Chains A and B, each alone.
Chain A
């Protein structure tokens, strides 16, 4: 497992994925800061032309809990795409670069290689969540968000971001399975978009509390005060378990012809 981990981490570290995902998360943090600036200074924002005639930002309170909630929502919505693309890349690149065949007849077990891919993606996505949180805190302090940033407020806010990140990472395992079975990036990306759309529709229909792909956004507070049901959290765990197991099973049992 150690060999597989070091190999996967080296591949990830030397790719363009870290820079691209950091850039995307930076845009997310900047967008969060922009919304908070508008909430704090609606008059100045209007003078600067930052607000359109139909802007609706009244729900964002100028407070730390509200800002942390916004960062959690960015983790859920942006994360499913950014984390998802990381996972799709981890698996899809082996087929795009025709290197998958070199991983199949080695003393290192195929299951260890698949597990290392998921582990490397998870660690990187958690580091992105750390970066988003740190960048958010810096932006928040710079903007002078009112109210004391007490330890309980910070712990609750950071906890919410990280639980959202973990839930989001868990649902992206499905994209690893799709990129493997589909032998490339495109099937993984297609499933990613299907998940984003389905999650929105199911949440709009009122079943998001238990639908695994809607759970991260609901936990982040995107749909208001109503959080996911315990069944929803369990469904995320079950789905991740099934996706990881199925991915390992596919690498282990499928005919690798290409």
Chain B
């Protein structure tokens, strides 16, 4: 069953198109990452999902129920963290969580559980204003996790966390998803969400550019066979005669992106050796995730 259904979502603020026809579906137990640059429309989409913003057009459903500000029956099933972590600075960690537990109609015992889960026990009696940025983020995540919601909507959940914290939260979210929690998160770091998400939706300028199953991500990564010989001009001529399409790079290497070269570099090596121009360097180079992300969003911008 689809837990989140967004269809043709449009949100305009005057002439500004914050979201321009985005659609996405998140199935139960899935970890869906909404990936985009700052201002791409991630937070507007998330706020609309949570009934904080009314869409100009399109529909938003959670658990099959249309989202409205009055849809209170939904909110007991949803935990969320939107943008920067926030807490009442004069209240302690425990008081902040107790207050939120009351508003979520949860028993006081729910507070102890999330305090343990997020490693906040040493800071339980500390005022929120005295917390580090990382611990403020943990507190915000703890508020979202109160009562083990069926759906977690997390806007940039790794913000402010140190590398150990990022790994810890990633593991926690994976565990929750394995136990049946559906997670929709946003990020602008592909390398991070690639380690966590089961599916990635790339949003740019308010439009969904593409959706990729995390398992398929390697297939979207651009590859090139890079070759260096003692005589690059001769090597290029031999390769062209062999049906390849080598391009000269700025660093002097020859580069080929056609599948025959990328997936069978041994054939390229054999051709060059047999033609009397053996390679001194031959390797398949993979595009890193950040470059892939920028390439995909650039494609979206050009669409």
Using an 8 Å CB-CB cutoff, how does the interface string of B78-107 with A read, 1 for contact, 0 for none?
Answer: 101011101111110001000110111100
Contact B99 A10 (CB under 8 A): yes
Contact A14 B90 (CB under 8 A): yes
State A71–B100 Cα separation when bound (angstroms). Answer: 40
Using an 8 Å CB-CB cutoff, how does the interface string of A32-73 with B read, 1 for contact, 0 for none?
Answer: 000000000000000000000000000000000000000000
Q: Which of A14, A97, A99, A107 contacts B105 (CB 8 A)?
A: A107
Contact B53 A105 (CB under 8 A): no
Shortest distance from the beta carbon of A12 to any chain B beta carbon, whole Å = 10
Shortest distance from the beta carbon of B138 to any chain A beta carbon, whole Å = 15
Given contacts A255-B52, A257-B53, contact A11 B88 (CB under 8 A): yes
Q: How large is the interface on A (under 10, 10 to 19, 20 to 34, 35 or more residues)?
A: 20 to 34
State A96–B299 Cα separation when bound (angstroms). Answer: 39
Asked if A181 is an interface residue, CB under 8 A from chain B, the answer is: no
Contact B75 A102 (CB under 8 A): no
Q: Which of B52, B84, B90, B100 contacts A104 (CB 8 A)?
A: B52
Q: Which of A3, A102, A107 contacts B72 (CB 8 A)?
A: A107
Contact B84 A7 (CB under 8 A): no
Contacting residues of chain A (222-258) with chain B, CB-CB under 8 angstroms: 252-253, 255-257
What residues on B are CB-neighbors of A15 within 8 Å? 90
What residues on A are CB-neighbors of B76 within 8 Å? 107
* Minimal Cβ-Cβ distance residue in A for B143: A102
What residues on B are CB-neighbors of A4 within 8 Å? 103
Most buried by A among B69, B75, B84, B143: B69
Q: How large is the interface on B (under 10, 10 to 19, 20 to 34, 35 or more residues)?
A: 20 to 34
Q: Which of A11, A99, A106, A113 contacts B86 (CB 8 A)?
A: A99
Contact B86 A255 (CB under 8 A): no
Given contacts A11-B99, A256-B47, contact A101 B52 (CB under 8 A): yes
Contact B102 A6 (CB under 8 A): yes
Shortest distance from the beta carbon of A9 to any chain B beta carbon, whole Å = 10
Asked if B50 is an interface residue, CB under 8 A from chain A, the answer is: yes
Per DSSP, chain B at the interface is: loop
What residues on A are CB-neighbors of B80 within 8 Å? 105
Q: Which of B83, B99, B100 contacts A101 (CB 8 A)?
A: B83
State A26–B301 Cα separation when bound (angstroms). Answer: 63
Contacting residues of chain B (45-82) with chain A, CB-CB under 8 angstroms: 47, 50-54, 69-70, 72-76, 78, 80, 82
Contacting residues of chain A (119-145) with chain B, CB-CB under 8 angstroms: none
Contact B104 A99 (CB under 8 A): no
State A237–B242 Cα separation when bound (angstroms). Answer: 90
Q: Which of B75, B86, B99, B102 contacts A98 (CB 8 A)?
A: B86
Given contacts A11-B91, A14-B95, contact A255 B54 (CB under 8 A): yes
* Minimal Cβ-Cβ distance residue in B for A109: B72
Using an 8 Å CB-CB cutoff, how does the interface string of A60-104 with B read, 1 for contact, 0 for none?
Answer: 000000000000000000000000000000000000011101111
State A104–B75 Cα separation when bound (angstroms). Answer: 9
Asked if A110 is an interface residue, CB under 8 A from chain B, the answer is: yes
What residues on B are CB-neighbors of A257 within 8 Å? 44, 47, 52-53
Shortest distance from the beta carbon of A168 to any chain B beta carbon, whole Å = 26
Q: List 24 A-B contacts (CB under 8 A).
A: A7-B102, A11-B88, A11-B99, A14-B88, A14-B90, A14-B91, A97-B86, A97-B87, A97-B89, A98-B83, A99-B86, A101-B52, A101-B83, A102-B86, A102-B100, A104-B52, A105-B52, A105-B75, A106-B72, A106-B103, A110-B69, A256-B47, A256-B52, A257-B52
Instruction: List 12 other contacts, CB 8 Å, given A7-B102, A102-B100.
Output: A6-B102, A10-B99, A11-B90, A14-B88, A15-B90, A99-B86, A101-B52, A103-B103, A104-B51, A104-B52, A105-B80, A108-B72
Q: Which chain B residues have a beta carbon within 8 Å of chain A's beta carbons?
A: 44, 47, 50-54, 69-70, 72-76, 78, 80, 82-84, 86-91, 95, 99-100, 102-105, 143
